[in-house]
């Protein structure tokens, strides 16, 4: 966000006790929007920092714009520091297993005694109910919530190709926090917010539940679904490449037929309506597929762009580093990582007054801001040295 415009959450103090994706994604969004997010890590650092394989990018992606302090939260001295942090905070975020922070004395009921205005957000697997104490992961929620069934081919449930439920659960957590901040303006009090993986998944597949109600038939998995449109498919094109094309309105259909010379389609009055086209989909698709197979991605994309029709190349995540739109719209942020390298990573996908939210702080190294934060809490140099010497701070 530009220097002339104050970030919307400037002045909001957040304390984050979290790891992996769901909790850190809440902190990331709040931090990008201008909140001062203090990430409290164990003295040895958040274990998410050291994940390999598919988890190797978690910490880099979800922890920019935060300050890191490392504390032994089980020690009396560490608890004293945490209580000082919470006393000054507007928001606390946590995503540990149910009851974990309560056992350490950091549950909402305890902390609100010190800070009645505190908004305490717990990122959980499930909301209150029979499942509330079950251990959940993004994948567990996708399997239980119907998303994996809808994503994979028949008989082969498949999780989505990113941590969509962790991030979506984080987004709902932010929505709850922002609503609670607004409510606090009138009530003067904070409250306990819970967002969850399972209920987020169920919300996501609500359209398929509604389809059952409306049609009387259960929704088929997406690869086997009856399309709502005659053309809404990935097509094989020249040179072994692929392209998605959608034609989703009667006006788009008319343009499509004219620009691609499908005179046989234009002459068929049954195809004037979407319902008629869907009924004749088995006749339409082979003809369209044969025409598209003779064109390259570039040729077809150029023609579709000129026609104003929806299309998309099949892009890999690593291709996005060079995406012309992202690179010319502040859609990628050049973030410094603790190992000294830099990476272009996605910005928050919103703008305000046509401005994007950028980088204030690189991804913090372990305990990078511990001394700075302790000083801001009013601890003396001697007290801070003792915390480091005794392994309470790091």
pLDDT single digits (tens) 279-305: 999 999 999 999 999 999 999 999 999
> What's the pLDDT at 325?
97
**Domain limits of the chain?**
13-204+329-389, 227-315
Secondary structure of the chain in HEC code, one letter for each residue: CCCCCCCCCCCCEEEEECCCCHHHHHHHHHHHCCCEEEEEECCCCCHHHHCCHHHCCHHHHHCCCEEEEEECCCCHHHHHHHHHHHHCCCEEEECCCCCHHHHCCCCHHHHHHHCCCCEEEEEECCCCCCCCCCCCCHHHHHHHCCHHHHHCCCCCCCCCCCCHHHHHHHHHHHHHHHHHHHHHHHHCCCCEEEEEHHHHHHHHCHHHHHHHHHHCCCCCCHHHCCCCCCEEEEEECHHHCEEEEEECCHHHHHHHHHHHCCHHHHCCHHHHCHHHHHHCHHHHHHHHHHHHCCCCHHHHHHHHHHHCCCEEECCCHHHHHHCHHHHCCCCEEEEECCCCCEEEEECCCCEECCEECCCCCCCCCCCCCHHHHHHHCCCCHHHHHHHHHCCCEC
Higher-confidence residue of 224 and 4: namely 224
Domains 13-204+329-389 and 227-315 share a fold: no
Question: What pLDDT is attached to residue 226?
Answer: 81
Q: Which CATH architecture has domain 227-315?
A: 2-Layer Sandwich (3.30)
Give 344-394 pLDDT, tens digit per residue: 999 999 999 999 999 999 999 999 999 999 999 999 999 999 999 999 999
Query: What is the pLDDT, as a whole number, of residue 383?
Result: 97
CATH superfamily of 13-204+329-389: Crotonobetainyl-coa:carnitine coa-transferase; domain 1 (3.40.50.10540)
Q: Is residue 55 pLDDT above 60, yes or no?
A: yes
pLDDT for the residue 225: 85
pLDDT, tens digit, for every residue of 209-266? 999 999 999 999 999 888 899 999 999 999 999 999 999 999 999 999 999 999 999 9
The average confidence (pLDDT) of the chain is: 96
| pLDDT confidence of residue 1 | 65
**Mean pLDDT value across residues 305-325:** 97
């Amino acid at each position: 966000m530009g220097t002339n415009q104050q970030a919307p959450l400037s002045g909001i103090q957040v304390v984050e006790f979290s790891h992996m994706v769901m909790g850190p994604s809440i902190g990331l969004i709040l931090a990008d929007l201008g909140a001062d997010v203090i990430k409290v890590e164990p003295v040895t650092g958040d274990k998410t920092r050291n994940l390999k394989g598919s988890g190797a990018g978690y910490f880099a992606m979800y922890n920019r714009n935060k300050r890191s302090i490392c504390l032994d939260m089980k020690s009396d001295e560490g608890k004293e520091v945490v209580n000082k942090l919470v006393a000054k905070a507007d928001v606390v975020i946590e995503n540990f297993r149910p009851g974990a922070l309560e056992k350490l004395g950091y549950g909402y009921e305890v902390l609100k005694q010190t800070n009645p205005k505190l908004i305490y957000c717990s990122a959980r697997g499930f909301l209150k109910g029979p499942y509330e104490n079950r251990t959940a992961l993004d994948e567990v929620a996708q399997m239980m919530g119907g998303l994996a069934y809808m994503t994979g081919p028949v008989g082969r449930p498949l999780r989505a190709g990113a941590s969509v439920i962790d991030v979506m659960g984080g987004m709902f957590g932010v929505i709850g926090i922002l609503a609670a901040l607004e409510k606090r303006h009138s009530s003067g009090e904070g409250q306990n917010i819970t967002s969850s993986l399972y209920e987020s998944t169920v919300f996501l597949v609500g359209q398929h539940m509604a389809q059952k109600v409306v049609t009387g038939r259960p929704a088929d998995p997406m690869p086997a679904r009856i399309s709502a449109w005659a053309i809404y498919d990935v097509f094989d094109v020249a040179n072994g490449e692929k392209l998605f094309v959608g034609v989703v309105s009667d006006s788009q259909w008319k343009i499509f037929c004219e620009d691609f010379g499908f005179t046989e389609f234009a002459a068929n009055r049954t195809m004037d309506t979407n319902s008629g086209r869907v009924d004749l989909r088995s006749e339409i698709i082979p003809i369209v597929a044969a025409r598209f197979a003779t064109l390259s991605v570039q040729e077809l994309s150029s023609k579709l762009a000129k026609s104003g029709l929806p299309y998309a190349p099949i892009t890999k995540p690593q291709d996005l580093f060079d995406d012309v739109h992202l690179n010319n719209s502040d859609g990628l942020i050049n973030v410094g990582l603790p190992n000294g390298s830099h990476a272009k990573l996605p910005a928050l996908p919103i703008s305000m007054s046509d401005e994007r939210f950028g980088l204030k702080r690189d991804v913090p190294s372990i305990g990078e801001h511990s001394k700075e934060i302790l000083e801001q809490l009013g601890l003396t140099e001697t007290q801070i040295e003792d915390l480091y010497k005794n392994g309470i701070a790091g």
